[in-house]
Structure 1
């Protein structure tokens, strides 16, 4: 019988797997979708999920292996070259777009649905938006979701189910005396009061200028214009893929309106705020993603 040492000498020692290889091997074993490795020095791959369960598994593995989980397809996405990253592209397997019921003005939309399909369905807020974008990428894009301060209801977004970094599923929607559903979630119970504190602080007031919102995260959604209703889902508008992974959204076709002013025209007045991450932005991100699973800057300001 050939000894183990003799066999090792003949075939050579098997090289030890790197942490990145171990991460990819595990992901490929459990994912129903496709995984592409781009073989960069730090480690970079793309997952096109076959099912939402793939995203759940990917989140867990990314947390375990110290890999950043990033939404693919965001316009002007940050390169994220300094650490291992898994880009997730919501594809055809999660691209449903349908009314909640016959004649219902509300639409159930999965993250892989294309903006062009939503425009053709008659949702006006997607007019003049790039038709090839997924709705997840549109929602993360600060240019596409740049409504005036307090006017986030014009997005038409009424509800969102979001997977947070710790695996919590957060139902975000209208919030007030008549609707306390977000408080059903213990994680959100602790998050909401702190968000309102941040939105009312002097630092947040400084993020408003000439009707524009200069922060990275839309805390102004907690102080809607007169007659408006607080909707926690609006915190995700233009979030850069930095706060969570969107599982599905609900839009109301009756209230959506396109962004009227060009982001580029606004940019000269908000450039300084955009290039630096203020204390308010850091505090919001820490509430949603204290362990840094998602990119700390998923979209570049150019």
Structure 2
């Protein structure tokens, strides 16, 4: 007993790490970007990551899933304060800002999530001239008021392809999908997700929302129910997603489609202004719950996210 006590005195007591401390230490060891821990408040942690590269986000997602921490995109208005759960805010800084024309298609641009809209305008995409130049492409894509296209008209966004990191770690490349554009769906997880979403389009809730001039729900399931003459594009599922469904890794913009598109109606999405007793309001809520569950069953990303 004396030996044991003497050893404890010399070596010091071993203290167990809190879950939040374990999360922060794990992240600091793995990422190349900058990390700031804001600490705990009432048992809930908050921190900020400014990633240096895409690998930082893969490490962050894995640790968030392991420790029950929400991975949230900074720069998007959040309806919920996320005060009930620990949050890692991702701030896109001076990295992940690449923007260039694709060599095999002069009308298409490869853009990383940290690129600013002002930089897109300066590069020659004049369609972004009327938008806040300080917004990142990730925030622009996630903002519901900036993606409030009329029902079934998601093609007007100018988004051609997108790569998204899903909650389970799947890296999914999304684009045109149909009889003439059947891009392979790599992996069982993505196949299951897309199959579930197509099944959901046949629901009473989805059909009711699609019949309205403006899409009433948060998540753009109408990307799978396009207006006549237009093709299903899976990347349009990310339009206005509020950061709730996945992490944008890159996007391909079609300059030709952007130049033809009218600006979205900022009043087109107004879930917060609908009456709770309204039948369509209830159907939109139910549809959003089911879309969120398909994309993010373990709630790695914010819920419900941005409201207006």
Q: By the TM > 0.5 criterion, same fold?
A: yes
**Match for 1:259 among 256, 263, 271?**
263
Match of 2:130 in 1: 128
* Correspondence for 2:112 among 107, 110, 113: 110
Aligned-partner SS, 2:71: strand
Q: Which moved more, 1:207-216 or 1:38-47?
A: 207-216
Q: Distance in 1 between matches of 2:38 and 2:283?
A: 30
1:278 — aligned with what? Answer: 285
C-alpha separation in 2, matches of 1:5 and 1:271: 67
Contact 2:148 2:269 in 1 (8 A): no
Q: Tell which deviates more after alignment, 289-298 or 125-134.
A: 125-134
Other-structure match for 2:28: 28
1:77–1:49 distance in 2 versus 1, CA, 3 Å: farther
The answer to whether the 8 Å contact 2:216/2:270 transfers is no
Please give the TM-score of this superposition, normalised by the length of structure 2: 0.88
Contact 2:148–2:264 (CA under 8 A) maintained in structure 1: no
**Alpha-carbon distance, 1:298 to partner:** 2.0
Indicate how the Cα distance of structure 1 residues 205 and 162 shifts in structure 2: closer, same or farther if over 3 A, else same.
same
- Structure 1 residues 90, 4: closer, same or farther in 2, change over 3 A? farther
1:92-113: CA deviations, max 9, x gaps? 2211011012771100000000
Is the 8 Å Cα contact of residues 170 and 190 (structure 2) preserved in structure 1? no
Q: Point out where structure 1 has 5 or more consecutive residues left out of the alignment.
A: none
Deviation for aligned residue 1:230: 0.8
Residue deviations 1:131-153, cap 9 Å, x none?
11111111111111111111111
Q: How does 1:136-285 map to 2 (within 5 A)?
A: 136-208=138-210, 210-256=212-258, 257-263=261-267, 267=270, 271-272=274-275, 278-285=285-292
Give the Å deviation of 1:10.
7.5
Structure 1 residues 203 and 102, CA, compared in 2 at 3 Å: closer, same or farther? closer
Q: How far does the alpha carbon of each residue in 1:246-268 deviate from its partner, in whole angstroms, 9 at most, with x for none? A: 110000000113524232x7638
Relative distance call for 1:66 and 1:269 in structure 2 (3 A) is closer
Q: How many residues align?
A: 299
The 5 Å alignment of 1:53-64 reads: 53-64=55-66
Counterpart Cα distance in 1 of 2:193 and 2:187: 10
Task: State yes or no: 1:287 paired with 2:304.
Answer: no
**CA-CA distance at 1:193 after TM superposition:** 2.4
For structure 1, which segment, 177-186 or 9-18, has the greater mean C-alpha deviation from structure 2 after superposition? 9-18
CA 1:276–1:101: 2 relative to 1, 3 Å:
same
What is the root-mean-square deviation of aligned Cα atoms in Å? 2.5
**Shift of residue 5 of structure 1?**
3.0
Is 2:29 the counterpart of 1:37?
A: no
| Offset, 1:209 | 6.2
TM-score, structure 1 normalization: 0.90
CA displacement at 1:186 relative to structure 2: 2.5
> 1:150-185, CA deviations, whole angstroms, 9 ceiling, x for partnerless residues?
111111000001110111111110001122214233
Change (3 A) 1:36 1:77: farther
Residue ranges of structure 2 left out of the alignment (5+ in a row)? none
